[in-house]
Amino acid sequence: MHNALAVSAGIRLRPFESADIPNMRLYLNEDLIYNNTLHIPNPYTQADAEQWIEKTVQNAVLYGQTVNWAIDYEGTGLIGGIGAMVKNGMEGHLDEIGYWLAEPFRNQGIATAAVRTLSKHIFATRPLVRIEAHVFAHNPASGRVLEKAGYSREGFLRKCFLKKGQYIDAVLYALIREE
């Protein structure tokens, strides 16, 4: 299993760990993160953080490698998260990624660099030819992150997701393995 992936000076992707719980509770209770993600609960509790860390450990064992990564900033610790959904198994031809980044660290290129790093890693370690990302239509900043990381906008998906009884439109982005 890979222990860490260098992203940029002072930024790396690494497995989640128990020491991340305070930052997870702090950052994942931001309204913007809740509003722009599908599965992160609000309020985000100690139990939610513990369950997530356990799930990431189980996923690493199940898939034989880390698939859910903490975005770690030297001196601060966890500032975000990024991972693959493993929708079609480790040998499938396509997968999806998702990510979040805490407010104090946005607009610094960190999310773009993390997406770029993880995408390269996924293509290097799996036989994928396509990585997708779905972005809520009300979150164009996430679309810009993906475009800067090399993803292409492929379509607009009306009423694609259901959250708290409301249908949410999404934009589909994809990165195709270079041949």
Q: How confident is the model at residue 167 (pLDDT cuts 50, 70, 90)?
A: very high
pLDDT exceeding 70 applies to what percent of the chain? 98
Residue in 122, 141, 140, 142 with CA at minimum distance from that of residue 131? 122
For residue 1, what pLDDT is reported? Answer: 41
Q: How confident is the model at residue 136 (pLDDT cuts 50, 70, 90)?
A: very high
Q: What is the pLDDT of residues 20-38, one digit of tens each?
A: 999 999 999 999 999 999 9
Q: How confident is the model at residue 117 (pLDDT cuts 50, 70, 90)?
A: very high
Residues 6+ apart with CB under 8 A from 36: 100, 136, 138, 139, 142
Q: How confident is the model at residue 44 (pLDDT cuts 50, 70, 90)?
A: very high
For residue 54, what pLDDT is reported? Answer: 98
Number of structural domains found in the chain: 1
**Euclidean distance between the first and the last CA atom of the chain, given in angstroms as a whole number:** 26
Q: How confident is the model at residue 2 (pLDDT cuts 50, 70, 90)?
A: low
pTM: 0.95
As given in the structure block, the two tokens for residue 75 are 């001196």
On whether the CB atoms of residues 49 and 99 are closer than 8 A, the answer is: no
For residue 3, what pLDDT is reported? Answer: 86
Print the domain residue range for 88. 5-176
Tell me the DSSP string of 62-129. HHTS--EEEEEETTTEEEEEEEE--TT-TT-SEEEEEEEE-GGGTTSSHHHHHHHHHHHHHHHHS--S
Mean pLDDT of 57-76: 96
> Angle 140-148/110-125 helices, nearest 10 degrees?
60
CATH of the domain at 20: 3.40.630.30
